[in-house]
Structure 1
């Protein structure tokens, strides 16, 4: 019996509704150490998610479970609806690690060609070189590449199999600002093709720029799972910066509800939960205030707010 177009469309829709990544009460212990504790979240296909957390929070353990490199002690992990160790889904994933073991004597083109052979449906070599900005280095041996160029090679190896799910571990470490922004553009282009991306990074500006959603892990548990905007809204502080014609004394600011005060001779930067109180006090001073800028909390400030609160609760 031949399936009708309607049946085919329904089947494709059902497949697209299967989460790309799903953890259900996943826990992982190493002896007496509980690395993950009942972690649950699902990532729909086509979404960009940043997995953040302090060092030792459990991020690496969580990713190792998603990739099938380790099994959960309890709970379940699914990748595209299957066991992560299933060869069918492994061939649909790309992984960019901070350091990959590749032969240093092969050229860039030879290395990418080798990795392309591992996948059933790989991208053309020329397209991979273009996407990774490596066309000019195609004939260069891997051992001669700079740190930034090698990072771009690792990205090329992660995408050469045209993966449906892409894992990026600190992808822009060692890149300069210009190269980092070019990389962001490549990621956005990949997302437009419906790819799912899980990103870990210590550059919180990068997570804010790329991710639709942040999953924050601390002490082996999910502390927050929301959009960057929603996480920043949890912090009531405002960042205030300005220049002043004459220096103000530290004693003046000591009487105000300010945090993270950076006081220069003619420049001030501070955080405050009571913006109106601080501004009212400033404008009563006999100094000229210029270049006044007021912004909401950054993702970095939200990150520290959430992890600091948890540390204080556990220390109480």
Structure 2
């Protein structure tokens, strides 16, 4: 996949005084993929993006963007950025902001197309400062797309949005990726990463501690959840050696186990009237928690 790599950190190190933000991190971004960077606060996600954007220089190792220095103007014209905080002129109208931003690029995306992708067509004549937080976030997304970027950096893109606006933005992000754009996503909404990401990179203490597809991340968690309607009592189920825990939710029994097949067989044998049987693997949120917890335990043991 080397020929598809468009951004890279190699053994990148960055410190702020006595604080080590990145400790020899390796990170690749490939064309046409959505890479989700996950990690607790202070893990090094924002610093990683800052190095790829050329906002900071690594103290050691290297950062490249399209095989160039991230501060190279030709490389920077090929990116789009949506950071957590944006200080935009409150008195300008949305279409004025879009036209101004588009003027910085040689082949910008038409204003109407940016507005449609971001779901802000009805906001073009409104002043930016008069918009809600969620509306402003969608405008910022439109601005990030204005230059037809080959790589789009999205830092907490859907903060302040309701669920409909968030899911609409997910559709637009997938459309950009289908066109060949790469997306680097940081989010605290793990369901967002689960819905969008082709690849997940978990960062902790300035290092990559786990990397792979969402399914690969889920594989870190051995527990499965069995949901069913059964006449077997909680005390009976809790006595089975394969069962970790038992709960009831909305009239259904929920069993946590690392041996789902064995438990399902026992349920079928023990309750002929068993119904609404469903087996669920762990979600990304549970995998993330287990990965970061294991990392902390290893570091404490060291």
| TM-score, length-scaled by structure 1 | 0.87
- Answer with 271-280 or 102-111: which moved more: 271-280
Would you say 1:204 and 2:181 are equivalent positions?
no
Indicate if the aligned counterparts of 1:238 and 1:271 stay in contact, CA closer than 8 A: yes
User: What is aligned with 1:136?
Assistant: 122
Q: How many Å separate the matches in 2 of 1:309 and 1:262?
A: 25
Q: Would you say 1:276 and 2:276 are equivalent positions?
A: no
Counterparts in 2 of 1:225 and 1:83: CA distance versus 1, 3 Å: same
Residue matched to 1:100: 86
RMSD: 2.2
Q: Does 1:145 align with 2:131?
A: yes
CA–CA distance in 1 between the matches of 2:250 and 2:170? 37
* Cα contact 2:35–2:198 (8 A) shared by 1: yes
The answer to whether residue 56 in structure 2 is matched with residue 70 in structure 1 is yes
Q: Aligned equivalents of 1:140 and 1:259: distance in 2?
A: 55
Task: Summarize the Cα distance change of 1:143–1:262 in structure 2 as closer, same or farther, 3 Å threshold.
Answer: farther
Unpaired segments of 5 or more residues in structure 1?
1-15
Unmatched segments (≥5 aa) in structure 2: none
In structure 2, how many angstroms separate the alpha carbons of the residues matched to 1:111 and 1:203? 28
Q: Structure 1 residues 261, 97: closer, same or farther in 2, change over 3 A?
A: farther
- 1:244, 1:287 within 8 Å by CA — same for their partners in 2? no
Q: CA deviation at 1:255?
A: 5.2
Q: CA–CA distance in 2 between the matches of 1:261 and 1:314?
A: 32
Question: 1:224: how far off?
Answer: 1.3
Distance in 1 of aligned mates of 2:194 and 2:250: 32
Residues 127 and 315 of structure 1, relative CA distance in 2, 3 Å threshold: same
Query: Deviation per CA, 1:30-72, whole angstroms, max 9, x where unpaired?
Result: 2222111111122222222111112221101111111111111
The answer as to whether partners of 1:256 and 1:278 remain within 8 angstroms in 2 is no
Q: Please give the secondary structure, in 1, of the residue aligned with 2:280.
A: strand
2:287 maps to 302
Measure, in 1, the Cα distance between the counterparts of 2:34 and 2:17: 33
Give the superposition deviation at 1:80.
0.8
Deviations 1:240-277 (A, max 9, x none): 1223468x346842654445654347333343111134
Partner of 1:44: 30
Q: Match of 1:13?
A: none
Residue 18 of structure 1 contacts residue 80 of structure 1 at CA under 8 Å; is this kept in 2? no
Task: Give the corresponding residue for 1:32.
Answer: 18
The number of residue pairs the alignment matches comes to 300
Distance 1:265 1:130 in 2: 40
1:162 has 2:148 as partner: yes
TM-score (norm 2): 0.91
Task: Quote the offset at 1:288 in angstroms.
Answer: 5.2
Inter-partner Cα distance in structure 1 for 2:203 and 2:165? 28
